[in-house]
Amino acid sequence: MGKGEDYFARLAARGVSRRSFMKYCTALTATMGLSAAYVPKVAEVFAQPAQRPPVIWLHFAECTGCSESLLRSQYPYVDDLVLEVLAVEYHETLMAAAGHQAEEALHAAVEKYDGKFICVVEGSVATAYGGGYGKVGGRTFLEIAKEVVPRAAATIAYGTCACFGGIPAAKPNPGGYKGVGDAIGVKTLNIPGCPPNPINLVGTIVNYLLLGKLPDLDEKGRPLFAFGKTVHDQCPRRSHFENGEFAESFGSPEAAMGYCLYKLGCRGPETYNNCPVAKFNDGTSWPVEAGAPCIGCSQPDFWDTMTPFYEEF
Amino acid sequence: MGQRIIVDPITRIEGHLRIEIEVEGGKVKNAWSSGQMFRGIEMILQGRDPRDAHHFVQRSCGVCTYVHSVASVRAVDDAVGVKIPKNARLIRNLLHAAQFQHDHLVHFYHLHALDWVDVISALKADPKATATLADNVSGSKVGGANYYKSVQQRLQTFVDSGQLGPFANAYWGHPAYKLTPEANLMACAHYIEALRLQAKAARMHAIFGGKNPHPQSLVVGGVTCVADLTPERIAEFLYIAKETQDFVKNVYIPDLLAVASFYKDWGGIGGCTNFLAYGEFPQNEKEPESLYMPRGVVFGRDVAKVQPVDQMKITEDVTRSWYEEGGKPLHPWAGETKPLKENPKYDTASSGGKYSWTKAPRYEGKSCEVGPLARVLVAYGKGHKDLKPLVDSTLEKLGIPVEALFSTLGRTAARGLETIAIGDQVESWVMELVENLKNGDNSTYTPYEMKDGQGVGLNDVPRGALGHWVKIKDGKIENYQYVVPSTWNLGPRDAAGNMSPVEEALIGTPIHDPKRPMEILRTVHSFDPCIACAIHVIDPDSNEVYKVRVC
């Protein structure tokens, strides 16, 4: 069996038909803004590419929600990503080794793949008091970022904390937290969200594996395929907004009818993300669909600029 | 003089933890637990809208997602005096039960298992013998020699690639690994199955919460998901819960018991002394009487005498933590505590040295373990109709005495047993929701007026007892406190020198090779640490002692 066929056989054994898988690749390709001709190539990427590109994942001041969001990825599942698609050479939440064995693994990976690895950063970097509010293995996040990030082929800041500072940077920001790019003066590809939709990270990685380059970015370093439009412009409740049909209270008949949540504080008009279209957890739902106004979680400094969340903007 | 070993980072946890041990005569003689990161969410909450708090605090942790959100809305509900509708109570409970199922499954397989399971040994297994073993111990519907052969082949291909990823530089072949190659291969297959199942299980949160991690549908006064109380959505939730519970009972628990049978000596390692549970899952408005998992505290392992909990007896001490000291330990609502404005010095050598960002919570001055074991012991001591038989039958199956519960093994087993009990309640709670809707009640939210006052939300979440305290003035948060399970379990010593539960539990652990102290990971992981949760700043300026109502 060829490698591709073996992959489809494994998928079938787990109840995922080739048809479902191709549907997913089609959706992913569409999300990335590529033409339909790319669909079989995307499928090939997951059916084992020629070599597994190395990924080093750094955790700084984070809640691990971003790593957890990637664990929710389906087609490919995380085991596909870790065992067949990528070489995730360092990830503190999953790795077996601890302590100095873990540190050695990080050091070895940086040396072996110098200039060739994708660095994914989760969490923001403390800069006050010499970065002393956050450490791993006795070294500050700042030190680690300065050492590892410049040696990557590309660095993806995953989650609003790594992109823009996130919650630790909210006023009064006791630790002097910053997004990793700002903290060390490096340009990062930013996939914000609190946490982001993993389909946007997977889409970015596939773009890189397929085309050998990162996707087109906006002025904030965010991939346009995911962050090119506002939530408002893609919202299924938009016609209610245009018709002046608003829910004015939670649990009201209007809320039950799915009216626009603008008056309950929805930040959709100010927020660039693809939540209404990509949805979360294998297309199950997204906040507005569950009756919860958008809080703008992929925007820089949203904890300060978008609050109070339940007041109309 | 013993040998000092530092393990930093502790991996396969949430957050940044440093464990230092002193090894003498092949055993741990002393231990120090240090939280290594500080963000300051309680400082960040000062002056903000109380309705927003649950979004902020939920970002304490994305592994323990949801739990801070529910604790926070309960605290503010309490402060403003709003009674949420029955449907909202049920939805909040269902989302919490889903979190227990998800969190405990992921913990056992993806955070804890590699301490007990040797992946490299699995490569030597005979797939046919593995299938036979699985048929004997597991209720899994997926199996057979071909299946295990394909899993093994997949792992072999991965190892042959030379890019070992998460398996690199680990402790494979360590003599403390006791499973047969076949048991290891079975566990590896289930690790992968659980990885796929958890992605599906998380959809339960998306159904009523919009997404996971960080569901968004809780609000002060109720929940927002009124439009999801449809037969289709409810059925979707129920059937995912049932599929998840099927895996819990037919794969997770049998694996837990199979692994435990090889590691019975761990029934004598890693125990603590006192156990605290706030209880969880209110069945009606009366708390703590109606809590499905009961509230109580056990001192000195005396499970026969479960004491009631008085939260006025909770204090937090910062003598050994990187905060400016305010004198004696105080209740969460009293006292001034400020993070040291410097790159903190790590000092475990001097008797009063500060060595952690985590504070030291105590109950009546005593260090208390919180979490699954505390809940199960309290339930057992109170004769809980579901948990007592589960515990008794497990002890009998494994052929171990009740004292073995006070250990790393006991803690790990308790996590599984409470998942059975809680997961089994989901269907009845869903049916209660359905009955309510059939009777024409679809209310999910009670309007309220914001007012000055104080409130508390006590909860018991997957990692343990969680309390949020809020004080509101002029419609803004004047003061916000939370005391979190991993703070209880993984904090430092207090002024009196009492060790935290993990420090106490590590004493006496046999260490085969100080350069590869794998054994301590077993106990540390058994607490399911969440260090981002554990560390938060305690309030700035308040000298008053506030009266706190016990819910």
Do residue A96 and residue B37 have CB atoms under 8 angstroms apart? no
Q: Mean pLDDT across the stretch B6-35? A: 96
Q: Is the pLDDT of residue B273 over 70?
A: yes
Q: Is B533 a catalytic residue?
A: yes
Interchain contact A1–B (C-beta under 8 A):
no
- Is residue B64 among the annotated active site residues? yes
Is pLDDT above 80 for B129? Answer: yes
| Residue B190 annotated as catalytic | no
Question: Is the C-alpha dihedral spanning B488, B489, B494, B499 positive or negative?
Answer: positive
A15 interfaces chain B, CB cutoff of 8 Å = no
Q: Which of B60, B195, B442 sits opposite A77 (nearest CB)?
A: B195
Cβ contact, residue pair B217, A281, below 8 Å = no
**B138 noted as active-site residue:** no
Predicted ipTM? 0.94
3-state secondary structure of B439: coil
Residues of B with Cβ-Cβ distance to A126 under 8 angstroms: 37
Q: Do A250 and B61 count as a contact with CB atoms less than 8 A apart?
A: no
Supply the pLDDT for residue A196: 98
Share of chain B above pLDDT 90, in %: 91
User: Is 50 exceeded by the pLDDT of residue B546?
Assistant: no
CB contact under 8 A, A177 and B532: no
Question: Looking at B18, B68, B190, B468, which residue is catalytic?
Answer: B68
Given A64, A71, A109, which is nearest B199 (Cβ)? A71
More confident residue, B10 or A40: B10
Would you state the pLDDT for residue A50? Answer: 54
Q: Which amino acid is at B479?
A: N
Q: Is any Cβ of chain B less than 8 angstroms from the Cβ of A313? A: no
Does the distance separating the beta carbons of A175 and B40 come in below 8 Å?
yes
B18/A62 Cβ within 8 A:
no
- Residue B190's nearest CA partner among B116, B115, B108, B123 is B108
Residue B551 — pLDDT band, cuts 50, 70, 90? very low
Cβ-based contacts of B161 with chain A (< 8 Å): 52, 87
DSSP assignment of A275-309, as one string? HHHH-BTTTTB-GGGGT-----TTSTTHHHHS-ST
Averaged pLDDT, B19-31: 96
> What is the per-residue pLDDT for B334?
74
Task: Say if strands A189-191 and A135-136 run parallel, antiparallel, or are unpaired.
Answer: unpaired
Q: What is the pLDDT of residue A2?
A: 44
B188 given a catalytic annotation: no
Residue A6 has a pLDDT of 59
Going by pLDDT thresholds of 50, 70 and 90, the confidence category of residue B543 is: very low
Establish if A310 touches chain B: CB-CB under 8 angstroms.
yes
Q: Which two tokens stand for residue A30?
A: 């569409």
**pLDDT the model gives residue B547:** 25
Q: Over B300-337, what HEC string results?
A: CCCCCCCECCCHHHEEEECCCECEECCCCCECCCCCCC
- What's the pLDDT at A246? 98
pLDDT in tens, B311-364: 989 999 999 999 998 778 888 877 455 899 999 999 998 888 999 999 999 999
Q: Is B68 a catalytic residue?
A: yes
Tell me the pLDDT tens digit for each residue of B148-204: 999 999 999 999 999 999 999 999 999 999 999 999 999 999 999 999 999 999 999
pLDDT at B24: 96
Q: Are the beta carbons of B342 and A129 separated by less than 8 Å? A: yes
Task: Check CB contact under 8 Å for A287 and B12.
Answer: no
B232 annotated active-site: no
Q: Which chain B residues are within 8 Å of A282, Cβ to Cβ?
A: 199-200, 203
Residues from chain B that touch A78, judged by Cβ atoms under 8 A, are: 195, 199
Cβ separation of A71 and B217 shorter than 8 Å? Answer: no
Locate all alpha helices (DSSP H) within B387-496, ordered by sequence: 387-398, 408-438, 485-490
Q: Which H or E element spans position B468?
A: strand B464-473
Which residue of B15, B18, B444 is in closest CB contact with A251? B444
pTM for the model: 0.94
Active site residue B368: no
Nearest by Cα to B356 from A135, A71, A85: A135
Residues A74 and B136: their CA atoms lie apart, in Å, by 31
Spot the catalytic one: B272, B368, B533, B551. Answer: B533
pLDDT digit string (tens) for chain A, length 313 residues = 344 555 666 666 555 677 777 777 777 777 776 677 767 766 666 665 557 999 999 999 999 999 999 999 987 899 999 999 999 999 999 999 999 999 999 999 999 999 999 999 999 999 999 999 999 999 999 999 999 999 999 999 999 999 999 999 999 999 999 999 999 999 999 999 999 999 999 999 888 888 888 899 999 999 999 999 999 999 999 999 999 999 999 999 999 999 999 999 999 999 999 999 999 999 999 999 999 999 999 999 999 999 999 999 8
Q: B11 vs A281: CB contact, 8 Å cut-off?
A: no
Chain B residues closer than 8 Å to A251 by CB = 85, 222, 224, 226, 443-445
In tens, the pLDDT along B495-539 reads 999 999 999 999 999 999 999 999 999 999 999 999 988 876 433
Q: How far is A118 from chain B (nearest CA, A)?
A: 14
SS3 state at B202: coil
